Structure 1
Amino acid sequence: MSPDATPDPFTEPVAFGQRMQILRTRRGMSRGVLAGLLGKSPSWVKQVEGGRLQMPKLPVVLRIAEALRVRDLSDLTGDQSMAVHLFTGPGHARLPQVRSAINTYPLTTQREAPPQAHLRERLARAWSARHSAPNHRDVIGALLPDLIRDAQLAVLQADSAAERRTAQAVLSQVYSLSQFFIAYQPDSSLLWRIVERGMVSAQESEDPHTLGVAAWLATQAHRDSGAAHFDAADAVNLETLRYLEPLLTDATDDVLAIFGALQFEAGYTAARRGDTGTAWRYWDTARAMADRLPADYYHPVTSFSKAVMGAHAVTIAVELHAGTESVRQAAAADTTTIPSRPRRARHRIEEARGYQLDGQIEAALATLDKAYEAAPETIRYNGYARRIILEEAESKNPTQRRRASELAVKVGVLAS
């Protein structure tokens, strides 16, 4: 290897501080930004990276891993006995079948595609099943392979330009459902194939709502890739908002909702950057859009609604690392009106993050228990929940350590 080359932290015996610096640099993150996310000084980061301070204790290591979006803890520590996937959950048993359906392109027609109305009905039922099932990945993982193949066939067999556009809209929405299944599983390349194909099909459909949903999911995929991709997240998000805005006067509830959901996503990204004013400004704009929707409206993909705005406020506060504000927003949020089990579980995880930030560890662990009750598969695949459980399993407080260990067993967080 050239003496000028950047060492690979995964192949060379590199010290913890060097690994931390390499991974930070790959994320395009400055020492100051990382220090702010950790509640430390830039000087502390520099001393750790330079080897003048030893590897921190596990709770701090886990916070570093979260800030750098490290998928496997051993990538940061160099200790293969700590091969714990933080932001990638276990591979689902149905992942091979879903992957095979996505990777296969039909070029010849061995059978006739189902009518598009039939496909739309199956898709609507799949979304309904996702929101109502505690083990939602298992349910939609069973439905997706046939849905993907049939939606692809419908595009291939379309007889007119108009029929092809509507078929592309259905296919894009099937890819959207697929992204919910694939997210946080150990196949990032498959996730990006789904994101890109969903966006292309949405563009081919020329349907504003379908385009909005595909952009909403692309925004999340970029943002979850780390700080170096925040600009890409904003690019697709803000461009879609500009496209949709002239259509709002006569828009359907679904278009209004996806516009509001994209406004919130812009605020979410701003919060991840630490931009408090921008984050809350976008949340206010999203709330104003939610107020235009019927009281009982609930978007089938994004969960955007009046009911979810309280949960969104908790997320903004947590991403800004504002513990007291997170707890205040959690107390104000009415989660009983959120009809989706996985969305309620996700909100409970965000609440738990807020309680931990505020030093209320018992409340954080109790809230994670509630998340597990709502949707076990949501907490099992959520990196933030896994990080809290792992941290508190090392707690000096025996009660907290025991409770976190019991959660770890239920969730399977240490199974890898």
Structure 2
Amino acid sequence: MSHDATSNPYADPLRFGQRVQILRERRGMTQAQLADLVGISPHTLRKIENGQQRTPDLDRVMRIAEALRVRDLADLTGRPDGHVDLFVGPGHPRLAAVKAAIDAFTFPADVEPPPVAHLQVRLHAAWRTRHASKDHREAVGRLLPDLIRDAQALVRHADRAEERRMAQTLLAQTYSLSQFFLAYQPDSSLLWRVAERGMIAAQESEDPHAIGVAAWLLAQAHRDAGPRHFDAADAVNLKAIHHLDPFLPEAGDDVLAIAGALRFELAYTAARRRDTGTAWRQWDRAESMARNLPADYSHPVTSFGQAVMGAHAVTVAVELHQGGESVRQAARADRGVIGSRPRRARHRIEEARGYRLDNQPDAAMASLEKAYQAAPETIRYNGYARTLLLEEVESTRAPRRRRAAELADRIGILHS
């Protein structure tokens, strides 16, 4: 055996610490920033990185993985047998077909485009299906290949300027739907390709609503890429908000709502930065915009409206690591009814994160179970939910450990 070999890399504090340092620097984070996110002192983190302190317990390792947005736990622990995708799901069975449709290169003569009205009806139905389905990725993934093919064909066959703008609007909507399917899938390059194509199609359409939706999704892609991309996320958001401003005085509900959703995204990114004042100030502005919409209104893509603002407040508090505030906002959020199943499940996951921050693990487990009831495919592919469950599977409390293991098994985490 080589003199530098080790039978258990995870047990070697120097190797673990080096991995933490490398991953932290790749994210462009300082020791103080990471320590703050994890809930330890910079001095303690420094000792972990330089090998003066042993590898933390699983709970702390998971917190470090979450803060660094580590996609595979093995990258952090060094254990080849510890392959666990955290922020990327296992890959949906329909991913290959969706990818093939996106990547396909066809000539105008290859596909006969459908009538515009026909594609509009199908897209509208697809969005409704997504919001109503527990297994929304399966439902949408079944529809996307044909929608992508037909929307692309419609653009290629459009002759007049007006026809081409309408076709680009429908193509942008199709790419937006595709991004919801691709979120947390193990193909980040495909997600970026679709986000950029969606933005180009929206700009070509000159449709304010399509531009707003494409910008909303592109900003999220930047933000989820890590701290070094937060400025890019804000730039996209602000540019879109400024573009929409002249339309707002006479705009319909959908344009008003996407402007409000973009405003909230500024709050979300500020919270990721731990900029408390900006985060809550932007949330206030978004909430004010939501109040100008009908009480029962929900945006067809983003779910923005009065009912979702409580859920958004939970997200802001969680990203700011304000455990007590997260729990208070979660109690208030339950007064609103979120119509979309996947959005409702996402809120329950954020609620679980809040309870976990507030040291209420049993309440967190209850929220994850509610997320599963609302939309199993949301929790199955959500990195935060997977992280929370993996923590509790290792709990020293047998009832909680069994409860977590049962849910993890239903979701498929333990054998993914």
**CA deviation profile, 1:273-322 (whole Å, cap 9, x unmatched):** 00111001011000111111111211010000111011111111111111
| Contact map agreement 1:105 1:152 (CA 8 A) in 2 | no
1:35-74 correspondence runs (5 A): 35-74=35-74
Q: CA deviation at 1:250?
A: 0.8
Taking structure 2 as the reference length, what is the TM-score of the superposition?
0.96
Tell me the equivalent position of 1:315.
Answer: 315
Match of 2:395 in 1: 395
* Contact 1:172/1:198, CA 8 A, preserved across alignment: yes
Letter in 1 for 2:346: R
Provide the residue aligned with 1:300 in structure 2: 300
Query: Alignment partner of 1:362: what SS?
Result: helix
> In 2, Cα distance between the equivalents of 1:223 and 1:246?
26
What is the CA distance between 1:334 and its match in structure 2?
2.9
Q: CA offset at residue 119 of structure 1?
A: 0.7
Which residue matches 1:132? 132
Measured after TM superposition, the shift of residue 108 of structure 1 is 2.9
Q: TM-score, normalised by structure 1?
A: 0.96
Residue 89 of structure 2 aligns with which residue?
Answer: 89
Amino acid at match of 2:75: D
CA distance in 2, matches of 1:221, 1:110: 32
- Of 18-27 and 330-339, the range deviating more from structure 2: 330-339
How far has the Cα of 1:246 moved from its partner? 2.0
Query: Structure 2 CA distance, aligned partners of 1:114 and 1:400?
Result: 53
Amino acid at match of 1:137: R
Native 8 Å contact 2:135 2:377 kept in 1? yes
Take 1:108 and 1:130, find their aligned partners in 2: how far apart are those partners? Answer: 30
2:259 is matched with: 259
- Whole-Å Cα distance in 1 between the matches of residues 44 and 119 of structure 2? 56
- Check whether the contact 2:222–2:230 (CA below 8 A) recurs between aligned residues: yes
Contact 2:310-2:336 at 8 Å conserved across structures: no
Matches of 2:79 and 2:36 in 1, distance apart?
26
Equivalence map 1:136-175=2 (5 Å): 136-175=136-175
Distance in 1 (CA, whole Å) between partners of 2:111 and 2:178 is: 23
Asked if 1 retains the 8 angstrom alpha-carbon contact of 2:111 and 2:150, the reply is: no
Contact 1:109 1:153 in 2 (8 A): no
Within 5 Å, which residues of 2 pair with 1:14-413?
A: 15-334=15-334, 337-413=337-413
Partner Cα separation in structure 1 for residue 63 and residue 78 of structure 2: 16
RMSD of the TM alignment (CA)?
1.3
Q: Deviations over 1:1-21 (max 9, x none)?
A: xxxxxxxx9xxxx81111111
| CA distance, structure 2, for counterparts of residue 266 and residue 201 of structure 1 | 23
SS of 1:294 mapped into structure 2: coil
Q: State the identity as a percent.
A: 65
Q: Contact conserved, 2:257 with 2:290, CA < 8 A, in 1?
A: yes
Q: Deviations over 1:304-356 (max 9, x none)?
A: 01110111111111111111111101111136621111111001111111111
User: Which deviates further from its counterpart, 403-412 or 262-271?
Assistant: 403-412
- Distance in 2 (CA, whole Å) between partners of 1:383 and 1:110 is 40
Q: Which amino acid aligns with 2:256?
A: L
Any unmatched runs of 5+ in structure 2? 1-8
> Aligned partner of 2:35: which letter?
A
Matched residues in 2 for 1:232 and 1:137: separation?
28
Contact 1:133/1:139 (<8 A) preserved: yes
Match of 2:3 in 1: none
AA partner of residue 255 (structure 1): V
- 1:156-192 per-position Cα deviation (integer Å, ceiling 9, x unaligned): 0001011101100100110000000011010011000
- Distance in 2, matches of 1:151 and 1:349, equals 34
| Equivalent-residue separation in structure 2 for 1:295 and 1:332 (angstroms) | 16
Task: Give me the whole-angstrom Cα distance separating, in 1, the residues matched to 2:366 and 2:336.
Answer: 17
Q: Which amino acid in the other structure matches residue 151 of structure 1?
A: A
Cα shift at 1:402 = 1.3
Q: Secondary structure at the match of 1:34?
A: helix
**Aligned residue identity for 1:154:** L
Equivalent residue letter for 2:169:
A
Please state how far the C-alpha of 1:106 moved relative to its aligned partner.
Answer: 2.2
2:23 and 2:43 map into 1 onto residues whose CA distance is: 18
Match for 2:42: what amino acid? P
Contact 1:311–1:335 (CA under 8 A) maintained in structure 2: no
Distance 1:31 1:165 in 2: 49
The Cα shift of 1:80 comes to 1.1
Which residue identity lines up with residue 131 of structure 2 in the other structure? H
Equivalent-residue separation in structure 2 for 1:33 and 1:335 (angstroms): 35
Opposite residue 339 of structure 1, the aligned amino acid is: G
Check the 8 A contact 2:116/2:167 in 1, yes or no.
yes
2:73–2:82: 8 Å Cα contact kept in structure 1? yes
Quote the Cα distance in structure 2 between the aligned partners of 1:125 and 1:336. Answer: 25
3-state SS of the aligned residue for 1:308?
Answer: helix
**Deviations 1:83-139 (CA, angstroms, capped at 9, x unpaired):** 000000111000000000000132232342001111111000000000001000000
Q: Which runs of 5+ in 1 are unaligned?
A: 1-8
What is the letter of the counterpart of residue 24 of structure 1?
Answer: R
Shift in alpha-carbon separation, 1:208–1:42, aligned structure 2, 3 A: same
Which amino acid in the other structure matches residue 17 of structure 1? G
Paired residue secondary structure (1:324): helix
Aligned residue pairs, count:
405
